[in-house]
Chain A
Amino acid sequence: MTTKKMAIIATKGTLDMAYPPFILASTAAALGYEVQIFFTFYGLQLLRKDLSDVMISPLANPAMPMPIPMPVMVQMLPGMESMATMMMKQKLKKHGVASLEELRDLCLEADVKFIACQMTVDLFEFDKKEFIDNVEYGGATMFMGFAGDTDVCLFI
């Protein structure tokens, strides 16, 4: 049986959008898939050693379930983003959902390959020292070398 392959392009750096790439990658790896994630633009934030800046905002996110209805004028107040993030993390923990750090570690343990977009690293002048060690740096062409031959390819 040939090994199935999955490629994911992770482009978002908010807490809600950080989960799908790591959940799908770790699950696919558990099912025996060979998996690569290409992190580009804001998705690069998910490769930081410290993920505490990965947040969720109710602002411009009208589908986010809120404990109480909150007008946009209130959502924009200072501290609302931190509060929403804290509440979301508590909710995730209460429901037994893994933390981002845990899911990322499970991916690495299962040999999921992380590729950071070199162009975006240069564009935003990110310091590679702030990223975890298990990252390879490359471009779209390098990623397509793998993506072109996959069974599942997702843009998140």
Chain B
Amino acid sequence: MNFDKEFDASGLNCPLPIIKTKKSLTDMESGKVLKVIATDCGAVKDMQAFADQTGNKLLASTEEGGKYIFFMQKK
């Protein structure tokens, strides 16, 4: 999937992946896509909950070799 910016949250634990995802989205334009990589398995549900509550769109959520990959489209 195409993306405009990437943020690697590997090694970070709750709530850092979410807080830093929010920070990464701050200076992005509406409609742009942020790719987030995380190793915290809690991030899978948190990233969906973040999208649901903030109106940003979680385009995809997958797992690849022990890493969780998310594509978040800015509201």
Contacts and interface: CB of A to CB of B under 8 A. Distances in A.
Interface of A: 23, 26-27, 30-32, 95-98, 106, 110
Q: B interface, by DSSP: helix, strand, loop or mixed? A: helix
* Interface size bracket, B side: 10 to 19
Contact of B18 (A30, A32, A95): A30
Interface of B: 11-16, 18-19, 21-23, 39-40, 50, 53-54
A98 B16 contact: yes
Given A30-B22, A31-B50, A31-B54, A96 B15 contact: no
A95 B11 CA distance: 7
A32 B53 contact: yes
B19 to A, nearest CB: 5
Nearest to B52: A31
B13 A27 contact: no
